Structure 1
């Protein structure tokens, strides 16, 4: 009973960290993205801001996982928070002196924040097995996603409401305060709550040698290779959604800031529903098989969504269609991500988790910069309906044939 109480307190601390971090970053990301879209004449500038994340992940790949596996994960997370806070403070000084019209300053801020986020998220993922007992891992992942989704529901609405009353500088200062709160909570989280079994000493190993060992570890596991390549391909195709939805609403349908914020806020609702379900049911078996099934469903959603734009409808109809598409897609996305994360934590040796999570996160984003640039060009020059229809077909074909190419028996993956 006492252990359960301590476990619940531990989970609450983690959820507070997630809540604070997501509220601040969601508001700031929304404001920056909206300003870029509204103050430039092409989706390419917005697309460039989206490329920063995947590029940073690729550049950090040789060292990120090794550093996380070798050094104290709590210390890495604390230093990551300091980097975010320092970058935001410097950005306030710069935009106060020169204004925010020069996007180079904004891009540099996004680079620093992405570096911080890569170390923070990888350290957290690699620490999950020590943060709670093994039987509570899916519960933690589900509740963490629940809190994250709930915080992002209100963030776009708050951002759109405050955008007319506050400057970008004010939003950045708000983010600094939230980052400080997040840092203070991290200091009180116990990163040795649950002792893991497979934890070899890596103190004497060199970072690049550890990276090579991580590559060998993954190469010996066909299912991991399939998951990485499959994620990379699907993320490339789903650039159509991350770029297409903002572009359609702002540049094609000319939605108001309020309508755009409402469709953005809808996304977490589907994730909340699926996270609640996953937090109370037993751990899902055969998550690899479920990935292909649910991703194929997303491909079907893309086909249906693309067909809507074959004819002219009222903005009200388009608004409702986008809301439904976002809601269903977000519900399905959680049914993919949470069981997969739980499976990875439970099936990868802990002293390899930093490297494996780093590899998975990076490789899954490897084609995202290419996808963003290609789709940026396509949305400026090709019919929206054609783009979504072809993307949906590509997703379905990938789900059918890629498991066969990699000779993965989906029935035997538990």
Structure 2
């Protein structure tokens, strides 16, 4: 059954509303959780606990989650996954007060592990179900507006969470999160998933081993050169972006002593850049010259990183760093939006729906590996060389990789609507 434009627009409105509420409350809850653990344990690890648990859970679940998403109806998976998250949060709410000090880490680690399993299932299930929610001409708007909602939430939720935490305490944030989950569940239940006949047959087909099913997704991924290249680029970008995650706080606060406000301005500029980029994509005509867009944005990121490094080396004025640095970081954020959103669109227009769960699960797991590796690498580098030259070197590396690898794929375009529909049916 073909999804008409009106229904696609309604589905986009529901999805973006759900994503905005869920991400906003989720980010506030994560911030409050970190503060609660910090006060209870006194450990700086409190804010980084999720960054340790998330990659572990993602890697363990890469095979079963991908197979699960590609075997059963996506709406059922999403509803059950969200319901599990609600139950886990409710149990956490009534048990956390029975622990004190370091003991609070026990229920928190268990809760975060269950929560991230559910989140990974939902993310893979959502990625695989896009063709069941909107028609192909609306995929770009759905992806860009969903990303814009997440960027908006990431920009403002920490500020609101920090203000509310003093007034209402951690328990109120649990209530906010539960309310957000219930609203998201109601919206999800109201959405119509248009299943293709091929997907139903796949679900009713003969049972294979978990590894056997997953290998089909890997074989597709390995046979698609440009998709494989894009995933390698994503791994490289996640590694390089650790230079900002680690380097900005270290250089701005510890080395240049420009204060937390300056750091906050730079971090906010990144999120605002991503928000602006996704809003531009949502209003732009359908993207066609995919490889050229990616080449331009990769060069922009490389030049911006060089600019940030040059700024730290040449001028340590607080005002200049705030203004010029914010523009540079804004450029990085906007460029990331023009990398992530077209990549997601390309995957959804290229990968057959019956394989999307396995391919997206593999892609997410690989990205999770590169993030901690990059964090450890740049933490070590900045510890011994706290200098803007590291930013310049990273930017030059980005430009070099772009120049060496992108020309081979420079004429690659986004698949046509009719072609992608035929591939996914």
Q: Same fold (TM over 0.5)?
A: yes
Q: How does 1:331-410 map to 2 (within 5 A)?
A: 331-403=334-406, 408-410=408-410
Match of 1:176 among 164, 175, 178: 178
What is the TM-score when the length of structure 2 is the normalising length? Answer: 0.85
Deviation at 1:316, TM superposition (A): 4.1
Whether the 8 Å CA contact 2:140–2:281 is kept in 1: the answer is: yes
Whether the 8 Å CA contact 2:291–2:406 is kept in 1: the answer is: no
Q: Secondary structure at the match of 1:310?
A: helix
Deviation at 1:45, TM superposition (A): 6.6
Deviation at 1:246, TM superposition (A): 4.5
120-129 vs 386-395, greater mean Cα deviation: 386-395
Q: Secondary structure at the match of 2:90?
A: helix
Q: How does 1:20-99 map to 2 (within 5 A)?
A: 20-32=21-33, 49-99=50-100
Deviation at 1:114, TM superposition (A): 2.0
323-332 vs 346-355, greater mean Cα deviation: 323-332
Deviation at 1:68, TM superposition (A): 0.4
The whole-number CA distance in structure 1 between the counterparts of 2:91 and 2:50 is 19
Whether the 8 Å CA contact 1:306–1:386 is kept in 2: the answer is: yes
The whole-number CA distance in structure 2 between the counterparts of 1:323 and 1:50 is 26
The whole-number CA distance in structure 1 between the counterparts of 2:38 and 2:163 is 17
The higher relative CO (CA closer than 8 Å, separation ≥ 6) is in 1
Whether the 8 Å CA contact 2:302–2:396 is kept in 1: the answer is: yes
267-276 vs 225-234, greater mean Cα deviation: 267-276
Match of 1:283 among 281, 286, 304: 286
Structure 2 unaligned segments of length 5 or more: list them: 415-425
Whether the 8 Å CA contact 1:95–1:169 is kept in 2: the answer is: no
Match of 1:152 among 147, 151, 154: 154
Match of 1:164 among 155, 163, 166: 166
Q: Secondary structure at the match of 1:205?
A: coil
Q: Secondary structure at the match of 2:168?
A: coil
Deviation at 1:22, TM superposition (A): 0.9
The whole-number CA distance in structure 1 between the counterparts of 2:143 and 2:286 is 11
When residues 166 and 250 of structure 1 are mapped into structure 2, their CA distance, relative to the original with a 3 A threshold, is farther
When residues 227 and 10 of structure 1 are mapped into structure 2, their CA distance, relative to the original with a 3 A threshold, is same
Q: Is it true that 1:313 corresponds to 2:354 in the alignment?
A: no
The whole-number CA distance in structure 1 between the counterparts of 2:49 and 2:306 is 26
Q: Secondary structure at the match of 1:285?
A: coil
Match of 1:218 among 205, 216, 221: 221
Match of 1:301 among 294, 300, 304: 304
The whole-number CA distance in structure 2 between the counterparts of 1:323 and 1:296 is 18
The whole-number CA distance in structure 1 between the counterparts of 2:347 and 2:93 is 39
Q: Secondary structure at the match of 2:398?
A: helix
Structure 1 unaligned segments of length 5 or more: list them: none
161-170 vs 355-364, greater mean Cα deviation: 161-170
Q: How does 1:104-123 map to 2 (within 5 A)?
A: 104-105=105-106, 106-123=108-125
RMSD of aligned Cα (Å): 3.1
Q: Which residue pairs with 1:15 in the alignment?
A: 16
Q: Which residue pairs with 1:240 in the alignment?
A: 243
The whole-number CA distance in structure 2 between the counterparts of 1:60 and 1:168 is 30
Deviation at 1:40, TM superposition (A): 9.1
What is the TM-score when the length of structure 1 is the normalising length? Answer: 0.87
88-97 vs 149-158, greater mean Cα deviation: 88-97
The whole-number CA distance in structure 2 between the counterparts of 1:42 and 1:385 is 29
The whole-number CA distance in structure 2 between the counterparts of 1:251 and 1:239 is 17
Whether the 8 Å CA contact 1:47–1:243 is kept in 2: the answer is: no
Runs (4+) of structure 1 exceeding 6 A deviation are 34-45, 196-199
Deviation at 1:284, TM superposition (A): 1.1
The whole-number CA distance in structure 1 between the counterparts of 2:81 and 2:265 is 31
The whole-number CA distance in structure 2 between the counterparts of 1:92 and 1:247 is 35
Match of 1:231 among 215, 234, 242: 234
Whether the 8 Å CA contact 2:32–2:161 is kept in 1: the answer is: yes
Q: Deviations over 1:239-266 (max 9, x none)?
A: 222333345566554745x766555444
